[in-house]
Amino acid sequence: MTISWTMVMDFTPRFAITTGPWNYSYTALRKSKECVISIPTIDLLDKVVGVGTCSGADTDKFERFVLTPLEGKHVRSPLIKECLANIECKIIDIIEKHNIVVLEGVAAYFDNSRKEKRTVHAVGDGTFIVDGRKLNRREMMKSKLPDGGL
């Protein structure tokens, strides 16, 4: 499934996503207690939108959008080869009142060989923002960053 609403929770590998019973994949999340966060780049935007506008109830999304599933090391959910990064996650909490699923990253993979590295962010109205230039202020923030950096 495509998820627009995600949140990094702190400096640990904890994330939150919002979804609920209206989403076909929600039942699988509750049952398996695991998932993969796959991070696409701008060149995959049309596939991302396509994945998000059809249902896994009647569509094999890997086949329809020509995506390659890869086996993870810690979860049964597939990674997506075409994505820039994949994070294997375990579900550690579901806050039903707010439809928030809390995930803990257990492994992460980054494809340095990909030429395209710009990611996209959904605004929520059918438009997207593309990442731009990276600005480094690590030295200025050194006292606030966890040991070992990010």
Model confidence pLDDT, tens digit, residues 83-118: 999 999 999 999 999 999 999 999 999 999 999 999
Topology (CATH level 3) of domain 6-144: Pnp Oxidase; Chain A (2.30.110)
pLDDT digits (tens, 9 = 90+) for 38-59: 999 999 999 999 999 999 999 9
Structure tokens at 127: 């438009």
- Please give the model's pTM, rounded to 2 decimal places: 0.86
- CA 56/CA 17 separation, integer angstroms: 18
